[in-house]
């Protein structure tokens, strides 16, 4: 199975927009009232923020067609998947509000990250 190099740039732009939007929304996620405010603060600053910045760097490298962009993208997606899985499972266990919607959103996020991680890990044709 061969990867389509034609998808590299659109995926990099989508990643740049998604990481940028998430980075802009991160302060709101920290300061808005809700369950587990201390845990959100710690997880967002210690894990989510570095992952988003790494994702932005990866997208920049991919758009500049640098080989290291793929490697940084793999690292960023791996960290994002690890953070998302662990924090998401804890969130689902401790916060009883809207569990079904939260589980569906987290499942979509995990699947997207996993598929992108597999795609960027495939060797170039």
Distance CA 14, CA 16 (A): 5
Percentages of the chain per state (helix, strand, coil), in multiples of 5: 85, 0, 15
Q: Is the pLDDT of residue 117 over 70?
A: yes
Cβ(69)–Cβ(62) below 8 Å? yes
Q: Which residue has the tokens 């890990």?
A: 121
Longest dimension (CA), the chain: 49
- pTM value is 0.86
Which two tokens mark 122? 């495939």
Q: Is the pLDDT of residue 76 over 90?
A: yes
- Which tens digit of pLDDT belongs to each residue from 16-48? 999 999 999 989 888 888 888 888 888 888 999
């Amino acid at each position: 199975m061969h990867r389509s190099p034609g998808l590299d740039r659109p995926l990099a732009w989508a990643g740049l927009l998604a990481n940028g939007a998430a980075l802009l929304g991160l302060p709101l996620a920290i300061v808005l009232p809700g369950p587990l405010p201390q845990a959100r603060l710690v997880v967002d600053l210690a894990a989510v923020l570095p992952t988003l910045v790494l994702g932005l760097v990866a997208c920049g490298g991919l758009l500049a067609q640098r080989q290291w962009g793929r490697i940084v993208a793999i690292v960023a997606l791996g960290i994002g998947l690890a953070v998302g899985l662990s924090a998401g499972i804890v969130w689902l266990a401790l916060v009883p509000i809207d569990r079904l919607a939260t589980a569906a959103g987290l499942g979509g996020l995990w699947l997207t990250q996993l598929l992108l991680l597999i795609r960027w890990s495939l060797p170039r044709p």
